[in-house]
Amino acid sequence: MFTFDLTPVCIGRSRDCELSLSSDVSSSRVVSKKHARLYPCMFENNQQVRWFLKDLDSKHGTSVNGVDVKSDSSVQVFDGDVIVLARQSHPPHDDDQDNANPSSPSISIKCHLHGRGNALLTLITSTSLNQRHSALPHPHKPSHSTDKRKFHAATSSPRQPSSGRPPSDVVKKRFRSLEADPANHDESPLKCPVCFEFFVDSLTLACSHTFCGGCLRSWLLQSLTCPTCRVGVTDVPVHTRALDNLCMQLVDPTDAAWMLRQQTWHAEAARLTKKAKKIRHAFLETKALPWPNVWTTWHDTRDREVFSQTVSVAIGQVREAWCEAVGLTEAAIDSHGKAKLLVASSNLLVATNGRTHRGDGPSTDYLRHRLRMFLRYG
């Protein structure tokens, strides 16, 4: 039994996972290194927490109460739900050559939501686990041996008095006093490990590392790896609104550096929105500057090179607008078959030799994942 307090939980065989399943267990063969992820989101003025489960493109799938979770998508989990690290149904035509056998052993984990606003998530399983320190065995045993844990204590919501002010003035004071200490500058769990500033528009990778949206987008233009652990990024990052909300609540709103950071972010977002609007107007609305469709072969290599150079420095909305100009959208990626996906990958100079399917080149699912990453990040 392990309890987590407003903390994302990665489940898998890797020792990097918060819930790390022992590889010695015979049933663990159906579990991927990074199999699934549970994460909290704040609602109702941050008074209510809802927990969501995302399948991290696992080999054998994930289900909740007998219902399969679509690969790379999220579902809400409720108190008493049972998570099974294996599919409960097996479609006859699956791109994955190694589907789990229906009779294969599976690992079940029961969820229990409790605490103020369901902030606490307790996971119960009979499966042997690797020893980790990120999960707190039930009941809680708080430790304050390091400054980092002090920061965690400050950012976690303690029991509130009956007035119920979210978060309490006591929590804000504790956080700001710790932040004022230069010794704690790099220890705050609310700071991006790339820019060492408080999170703005935060994004979380499948490996559970979180970064400012701008920092991560710029990084992924150069390398599709996690800036912290260097694990390859194949899944689209997810927004972490809970962290953004915590920063807005806990950081002193009168702090000059924080105010400037917010103003800069809003100004940059407005600039990108304006530029994306111009691109869509020229290529999609007036069609004054036609571009060849990405789903048909570009015989002129100059088209590939020019487009590649154009998007090589584009991030966010601007990048998506350029991709829309050639017909690369989420809907198009989902609707086209493998042949068209290969054509688009070739036109965009996207490497597709990372994952093969029965010796016939990359699978359809892999191509879709890769093109989604190209559409948004690089």
- Backbone φ, ψ for residue 153 (5° rounding): -65, -35
User: What angle, 0 to 180 degrees and rounded to 10, lies between the N-to-C axes of helices 241-250 and 147-155?
Assistant: 90
Q: Is residue 82 part of a domain?
A: yes
Q: Is the pLDDT of residue 77 over 90?
A: yes
Please indicate, yes or no, whether residues 110 and 184 belong to a single structural domain of this protein.
Answer: no
Query: Across the chain, what does the average pLDDT equal?
Result: 78
pLDDT at position 277 is 92
pLDDT at position 89 is 57
Instruction: Write down which residue in 84, 109, 137 finishes a domain.
Output: 137
Cα separations (Å) of 235 from 135, 312, 333, 351?
Answer: 24, 20, 15, 16
What total of structural domains would you count in the chain?
Answer: 3
| pLDDT tens digits along 309-346 | 888 888 889 999 999 999 999 999 999 999 999 999 99
Q: Is residue 302 part of a domain?
A: yes
Q: Is residue 278 part of a domain?
A: no
Q: Is the pLDDT of residue 276 over 80?
A: yes
Q: Is residue 335 part of a domain?
A: yes
- For residues 57-86, give the mean pLDDT: 87
Torsion from C-alpha of 294, 299, 302, 305, nearest 10 degrees: 50
Please indicate, yes or no, whether residues 121 and 230 belong to a single structural domain of this protein.
Answer: no
Q: Is the pLDDT of residue 134 over 60?
A: no
Torsion from C-alpha of 313, 315, 320, 322, nearest 10 degrees: -20
Q: The domain that contains 232 carries what CATH number?
A: 3.30.40.10
Please indicate, yes or no, whether residues 240 and 164 belong to a single structural domain of this protein.
Answer: yes
Neighbours of 302 (CB within 10 A): 8
Please indicate, yes or no, whether residues 203 and 297 belong to a single structural domain of this protein.
Answer: no
Q: Is residue 351 part of a domain?
A: yes
Range of the domain at 240: 147-250
Instruction: Compute CA 112 distance to the chain's CA centroid, rounded to the nearest angstrom.
Output: 23
Neighbours of 56 (CB within 10 A): 22
pLDDT at position 131 is 61
Q: Is the pLDDT of residue 56 over 50?
A: yes
Q: pTM for the complete prediction?
A: 0.51
Please indicate, yes or no, whether residues 112 and 185 belong to a single structural domain of this protein.
Answer: no
- Residue 345 makes CB contacts below 8 A (sequence gap 6+) with 352, 367, 370, 371
Please indicate, yes or no, whether residues 24 and 121 belong to a single structural domain of this protein.
Answer: yes
Please indicate, yes or no, whether residues 342 and 216 belong to a single structural domain of this protein.
Answer: no
Please indicate, yes or no, whether residues 6 and 88 belong to a single structural domain of this protein.
Answer: yes
pLDDT at position 103 is 44
Residue showing tokens 């924080």: 258
- For residues 84-100, give the mean pLDDT: 53
Instruction: Read off the pLDDT band of 139 (50, 70, 90).
Output: very low
Q: Is residue 317 part of a domain?
A: yes
Please indicate, yes or no, whether residues 8 and 106 belong to a single structural domain of this protein.
Answer: yes
pLDDT at position 178 is 56
Instruction: Write down which residue in 224, 250, 276 finishes a domain.
Output: 250
Please indicate, yes or no, whether residues 37 and 111 belong to a single structural domain of this protein.
Answer: yes
Please indicate, yes or no, whether residues 40 and 123 belong to a single structural domain of this protein.
Answer: yes
Instruction: Write down which residue in 84, 114, 137 finishes a domain.
Output: 137
Q: Is residue 142 part of a domain?
A: no
pLDDT at position 165 is 46
Closest of 345, 280, 374, 284 to residue 318, by C-alpha: 280
Rounded distance between C-alpha atoms, residue 21 and residue 94, angstroms: 26
pLDDT at position 99 is 41
Please indicate, yes or no, whether residues 211 and 312 belong to a single structural domain of this protein.
Answer: no
- Backbone φ, ψ for residue 47 (5° rounding): -90, -20
Q: Is residue 305 part of a domain?
A: yes
Choose the weakest-confidence range: 50-54, 120-124, 255-259, 358-362.
Answer: 358-362
Rounded distance between C-alpha atoms, residue 223 and residue 221, angstroms: 6
Closest of 94, 72, 104 to residue 84, by C-alpha: 104
Q: The domain that contains 109 carries what CATH number?
A: 2.60.200.20
